[in-house]
Amino acid sequence: MALELPALPYEKNALEPHMSANTLDFHHGKHHNAYVTKGNELLADAGIEGDDLEELVRATVSHKGPLFNNVAQCYNHTFFWNSLSPTGGGQPSGAIAAKINEDFGSFDAFRSEFINGGVGQFGSGWVWLVAAGGKLKVVKSANAETPLTEGATPILVCDVWEHAYYLDFQNRRPDFLASFLDNLVNWDFANQNLAKA
């Protein structure tokens, strides 16, 4: 399969005022698109194929460097777009709500750990909610790394590379992470992923 730039699952202005259309123009239209273009070049040169994006990530992890970085960034970004919703944010519902309470003690405890994880990721990277070993955990990853290659099931992710938030929040990463949870996080997507874990 060739890497493709997926259409956003909402209009570019649908996340305003929490994430601007200007941010999505740059982040989706330029950054993500550049990973697609370069990733396809490198996959062709390496002769690597896969049936889906997750398979391509796993097939390229041993290569490290530019090939894995571009393919994994396509996966991470696609997962991030789906972790956002114009009607998202706030308290979760359904199975994910019960599991968060079970594994973190409360939603507030999860919220604090998630924000602290994202703030504590030095430099560029991601903060994830994953299922591993029957429990939900907050993990962070640097650059293009993804818990997909560590045997965990990604449930949600927030991008903490500066281009994800700088136009809207400047250097206020904690405020961006709080806004993600309070206004944008897609709990329906989390419930879908939890059902697969």
Number of compact structural domains in the chain: 2
Percentage of the chain surpassing pLDDT 90? 95
Radius of gyration of the chain (CA): 16
CATH of the domain at 39: 1.10.287.990
Residue span of the structural domain in which 27 resides: 21-82
Query: Roughly what angle, to the nearest 10 degrees, separates helices 53-60 and 65-82?
Result: 150
Residues 54 and 127 in one domain: no
**Assigned domain for 144 exists:** yes
- Beta-carbon neighbour count of residue 98 at 10 Å? 12
Residue with tokens 């099931």: 153
Q: What is the pLDDT of residues 27-51, one digit of tens each?
A: 999 999 999 999 999 999 999 988 8
**Assigned domain for 53 exists:** yes
Residues 74 and 101 in one domain: no
Mean pLDDT of 86-111: 97
- Cα 11 from Cα 42, distance rounded (Å): 30
Residues 130 and 164 in one domain: yes
Confirm if 118 and 141 have CB atoms less than 8 A apart: no
Q: What is the pLDDT of residues 122-142, one digit of tens each?
A: 999 999 999 999 999 999 999
**Assigned domain for 3 exists:** no
